[in-house]
Structure 1
Amino acid sequence: MNGDGRESEDGEEEVRGARRIPGPRGAADDLDLASVPLPPLPQPGRTAPDRAVPEQSAPKAEQGEPEPAAAERDVPGPPASEPERNEPGPAASEPVPGPDPALGSDPDPGPRVAADGPAARSPEPFVSSAPAGLPHRVLKALLGAWALSACSPEETAAVEDHLTGCAPCADEALRLRDAVGLLHTDGSLDLDPTLRARVLDGCFGRRPARIPVPEWAVPYDAETARLDALLRDIGDSEWHAPVRLQWFEEERQVSRRTTVAGVIGHLMAVDGLLSAALGLDDPLDGGEAPLDPTGRTETYWARQGSRPPTRAIREPWRAQSHELIRTASFAGRNVAETSVSYGAFALPLQDAALDRAFECWVHGGDIADAVDYPYPAPSASHLHRMIDLAARMLPGALAGRRGAGLAGPAKDLVTAGAPGRSLHLEIEGHGGGDWYIALDSPAAVGAPERAVAQVALDGVEFCRLVAGHISPVEAAAGQEGDREAIRDVLFAAASLSRL
């Protein structure tokens, strides 16, 4: 047929510009050019693609003449005299190879298009160098596996060969390789064990309270919250981890073994003294329980019998601390001076809350040591207030030891208008400051010019001494002046410790 479907005189079929051209005489097959994609028809003002078959070649085929050799089959472009085709085109047309008599087919069936043809403007680059002949979409899908070195050797070769000719895929491969590098970092992926403590410190220092907490109750609020965060992190079995509690009695250090749950029960039992002072329920039924902290703890442990406390103790302890803070917050200013009896002595509620904050931190450190958990010291402002409370209690402790014959007698008793002796306690570092401890009378406040001795200690070390965790001999970092006064004050500080 002709281009309109008509058949030519010798039976040759023409299909819209592509014809079946008989091969050389004796060839096994004829070349079917209908299967070769042709470039689009030329537009006015542009040069036609150089693969267009000229019409004047048709008579040769119709007369049955043999196909010219590949070197002789250069097809010229259309005449330059046509006005609609005088736009400059390629310098020369590419030769169109003919059929190979031995193979019976065209050795290069792919399209050859001018540089400004549609294929040059295609968004997907044409790549024909893959050894396995994989299409572009398959090679692109393999980039992730290639970046992870998860391709087979054949796929790896195909992808890498593809990347040499496809810029978009090469860019994507580079990004994927960079991402894989982040997955193979040399550093540890474990979180810093102190991260939670730092976050909690930041939260406690910045979060506004729903109920305005009195300033004197803030350290207790912060330390109970820090200990509660530790307890939430440990497992069920760690609640039975052994904990050794240490304190000083007279001139020696004593200790008591318990568990993590036993420590929380001890804190709850002693906190009951504050609950009773505020009119709240005492966990040991008030009147039947002793006022002494050691006696209350022994009573609580004895009531447990053969059933040691478990993690179930955390909820009543935390509920009790919340109730104490809430009640103190609503009670107003006058409640701060409410007396809290410890049996042998009494403290105003504001000092008792600071004492309980100190105990909560110390025993939180005991628990942290038992379960291998990081537990830093309180904030500098809270630690300073704890040190101040201990320094204010030292003259009374020193007088008690002197009355028991455990300290040297008072010297140079104050006369009318004369200052008494004092010891300069210099606390360095975290929560530090300067205090002057009266040596001769609990009521006498020594002036700096009457300081007969000086002791320098780190803030945390001083608190460890007051808690009975280190001996007086180990505590002093720097001493100067009256040696007896220094010894008496250091042992008095250790005597403030208790179970």
Structure 2
Amino acid sequence: MNGPDEFDDRGAPGGPGERPRIPSPRAAAEDHGPLPDPPPPTSDLEDGGPEPASGHSAAPAVRPVPASPAAPAPPPPPHKVLKSLLGAWALAACSPEETAAVEAHLTDCASCADEALRLRDAVGLLHPADSLDLDPLLRSRVLENCLVRRPARIPVPEWATPYDAEAAKLDALLRDMGEAEWRAPVRLRWFQGERPVERETTVAGVIGHLMTVDGMVATALGLPDPLGGDVPPGTPGPTTRTETYWRTAGEEPSPLATHGPWRDQSHALIRTVSFAGGSVGELSVPYGGFRLPLCDSFLDRAFECWVHAGDIADAVDYPYEPPAAAHLHQLVDLAARLLPVALADRRRAGLASPARRLVEAGAPGRTLHLEVEGSGGGHWYIALDSPAALGSPERTVAHIALDSAEFCQLAAGHVSPEEAAAGQNGERDAIRDVLFATASLSRL
């Protein structure tokens, strides 16, 4: 046994005459990462061990916590499954687990990475289906934006802008139609006398009808007549001109014979009145049995263009928007201004109640208050007893309230006077006469 001053070769007490050896420092546990939290101390009493001696505290026993074995990672899905998920991944429709698996696979598989890139680019092109119909305000916004930068040297007259806009909308609809749709049957409806009338034609036939009636305005401006040498004698009205065109062109005129000529004629009309100056609006346009100033003729043609474009859209099952509010107001105003004359014509034909005799010369007579609600609406006072008189709010004997769309459908002959859901108050005869006079404004 060694003495207390002797050390062995490990730094422990050895033999006599040997120098003591100092052990090298040991590495700290912190050098290999943070220490784990120690478990709560437990006493020997809790473990059933001996009770410590009095006056001495026993050091808590630290027991190592056995590490739980790590669960083996699930194998990745096979290549075929991951490739089938690329479409859903591009649409961001995968679950988080599927997304992680696909993205891990894309780092190792070049073919799938290329396919995923193509699919992600294709997703960027997807968007909800939009209507091919032009926004009614698109043309106005574009023109306004252009005019802010440079005013138009030759602007379109205000009374011609509704026709310009409606012709552009109809042209856009026709450009989207296939050849078979041009032969689709279209039902034209109007009101004649006391009953509705209808006539069936094709899309091409409707465009031919519009072109032929627009020809009355064209000839008044010195432009060529689309009927050429087939113009009937005298001053034919819209119906006679249309029947002549259908008879010479056949029941189914070709799209090439109608779309291009109609579009060119509408452009020529707008261009001519724009260069002609402000006084051209007072030029008289014959409509057979009556005449209209050129400014009102353009509003009339805008109304017909919109109505028949709606007939075409219904035939090919396509949505079609009404005119812009400012344009619709001009069209409603024209119909309201024509009502006293239409009422007088029905009275001469025995289809309306007789006018009341005026108490004194120059008196305004009875008035009907026409209230048109909604977009493009307003208030008009219709003279009931004289087409030359102006309606006076003080002489109002009846009131009719109609939505703007319903009023236009009534004026187009698409709704009968009995079916018009109007708010009515006052003299029943006056209300009936004005509703029927509104429907009589329609024609082929």
> Shared topology, TM-score over 0.5?
yes
SS of structure 1 residue aligned to 2:134 = helix
Q: Distance in 1 between matches of 2:421 and 2:85?
A: 65
Residues 91 and 318 (structure 1), Cα distance of their counterparts in 2 relative to 1, 3 Å cut: same
Residues 1:270 and 2:207 aligned together: no
Q: CA deviation at 1:305?
A: 3.2
Residues 410 and 319 (structure 1), Cα distance of their counterparts in 2 relative to 1, 3 Å cut: same
Matched AA of 1:275:
A
Q: Distance in 2 between matches of 1:429 and 1:411?
A: 33
**Corresponding residue number in structure 2 for 1:343:** 288
Residues 1:446 and 2:391 aligned together: yes
**Corresponding residue number in structure 1 for 2:16:** none
Please point out which of 294, 299, 306 is paired with 2:244.
299
**Corresponding residue number in structure 2 for 1:461:** 406
Q: Distance in 2 between matches of 1:353 and 1:244?
A: 24
Q: Distance in 2 between matches of 1:414 and 1:343?
A: 35
Matched AA of 2:371:
E
Residues 1:246 and 2:189 aligned together: yes
SS of structure 2 residue aligned to 1:354 = helix
Residues 147 and 456 (structure 1), Cα distance of their counterparts in 2 relative to 1, 3 Å cut: same
**1:113-132 equivalent positions in 2, closer than 5 A:** none
Q: CA deviation at 1:162?
A: 10
**1:322-333 equivalent positions in 2, closer than 5 A:** 322-333=267-278
Q: CA deviation at 1:232?
A: 0.5
Q: Distance in 1 between matches of 2:369 and 2:118?
A: 61
**Corresponding residue number in structure 1 for 2:21:** none
Q: Distance in 1 between matches of 2:438 and 2:102?
A: 79
SS of structure 1 residue aligned to 2:397 = strand
SS of structure 1 residue aligned to 2:258 = helix
**Corresponding residue number in structure 2 for 1:484:** 429
**Corresponding residue number in structure 1 for 2:382:** 437
Please point out which of 186, 202, 207 is paired with 2:138.
202
Residues 131 and 375 (structure 1), Cα distance of their counterparts in 2 relative to 1, 3 Å cut: closer
8 A Cα contact 1:397 1:495, kept in partner: yes
8 A Cα contact 1:130 1:161, kept in partner: no
Residues 1:261 and 2:200 aligned together: no
More RCO (CA 8 Å, sep 6+): 2
SS of structure 1 residue aligned to 2:369 = strand
Q: Distance in 2 between matches of 1:307 and 1:431?
A: 36
Instruction: Encode CA deviations 1:4-39: one digit per residue, 9 max, x unaligned.
Output: xxxxxxxxxxxxxxxxxxxxxxxxxxxxxxxxxxxx
Please point out which of 265, 284, 288 is paired with 1:320.
265
Q: Distance in 1 between matches of 2:119 and 2:206?
A: 48
Q: Distance in 1 between matches of 2:103 and 2:380?
A: 79
Please point out which of 296, 306, 322 is paired with 1:377.
322
Residues 183 and 473 (structure 1), Cα distance of their counterparts in 2 relative to 1, 3 Å cut: same
Matched AA of 2:200:
R
**1:388-407 equivalent positions in 2, closer than 5 A:** 388-407=333-352
Residues 265 and 306 (structure 1), Cα distance of their counterparts in 2 relative to 1, 3 Å cut: closer
Instruction: Encode CA deviations 1:354-408: one digit per residue, 9 max, x unaligned.
Output: 0000000000000000001110110111111001001110000101111111111
Residues 444 and 149 (structure 1), Cα distance of their counterparts in 2 relative to 1, 3 Å cut: closer
Q: CA deviation at 1:182?
A: 10
Please point out which of 192, 197, 204 is paired with 2:130.
192
Matched AA of 1:305:
G
8 A Cα contact 2:373 2:401, kept in partner: yes
Q: Distance in 2 between matches of 1:232 and 1:162?
A: 45
Residues 373 and 414 (structure 1), Cα distance of their counterparts in 2 relative to 1, 3 Å cut: farther
Residues 178 and 434 (structure 1), Cα distance of their counterparts in 2 relative to 1, 3 Å cut: farther
Residues 91 and 183 (structure 1), Cα distance of their counterparts in 2 relative to 1, 3 Å cut: same
When normalised by structure 1's length, the TM-score is 0.63
Q: CA deviation at 1:204?
A: 3.5
When normalised by structure 2's length, the TM-score is 0.71
Matched AA of 2:167:
T
Q: Distance in 2 between matches of 1:258 and 1:250?
A: 22
Q: CA deviation at 1:201?
A: 2.7
**Corresponding residue number in structure 1 for 2:159:** 216
Q: CA deviation at 1:287?
A: 8.2
**Corresponding residue number in structure 2 for 1:53:** none
Instruction: Encode CA deviations 1:259-305: one digit per residue, 9 max, x unaligned.
Output: 00000000000000011000010011278335200000000000013
8 A Cα contact 1:338 1:348, kept in partner: yes
Q: Distance in 2 between matches of 1:149 and 1:489?
A: 62
Residues 130 and 222 (structure 1), Cα distance of their counterparts in 2 relative to 1, 3 Å cut: same
**Corresponding residue number in structure 2 for 1:16:** none
Please point out which of 419, 427, 430 is paired with 2:364.
419
RMSD: 3.8
Residues 1:310 and 2:248 aligned together: no
Q: CA deviation at 1:196?
A: 3.7
Q: CA deviation at 1:445?
A: 1.4
Q: CA deviation at 1:349?
A: 0.5
Residues 267 and 399 (structure 1), Cα distance of their counterparts in 2 relative to 1, 3 Å cut: same
For structure 1, the residue ranges without an aligned partner over 5 or more in a row are 1-79, 81-89, 93-128, 133-138, 151-155
8 A Cα contact 1:276 1:286, kept in partner: no
Q: Distance in 2 between matches of 1:371 and 1:489?
A: 34
8 A Cα contact 2:220 2:284, kept in partner: yes
**Corresponding residue number in structure 1 for 2:176:** 233
8 A Cα contact 2:368 2:397, kept in partner: yes
8 A Cα contact 1:130 1:162, kept in partner: no
Residues 372 and 146 (structure 1), Cα distance of their counterparts in 2 relative to 1, 3 Å cut: closer
Instruction: Encode CA deviations 1:429-472: one digit per residue, 9 max, x unaligned.
Output: 11110000000001111211210000000001111111100100
For structure 2, the residue ranges without an aligned partner over 5 or more in a row are 1-23, 25-29, 33-72, 90-96
Instruction: Encode CA deviations 1:151-185: one digit per residue, 9 max, x unaligned.
Output: xxxxx99x959959x9x99xxx9xx9999899899
Residues 475 and 160 (structure 1), Cα distance of their counterparts in 2 relative to 1, 3 Å cut: closer
SS of structure 2 residue aligned to 1:461 = helix
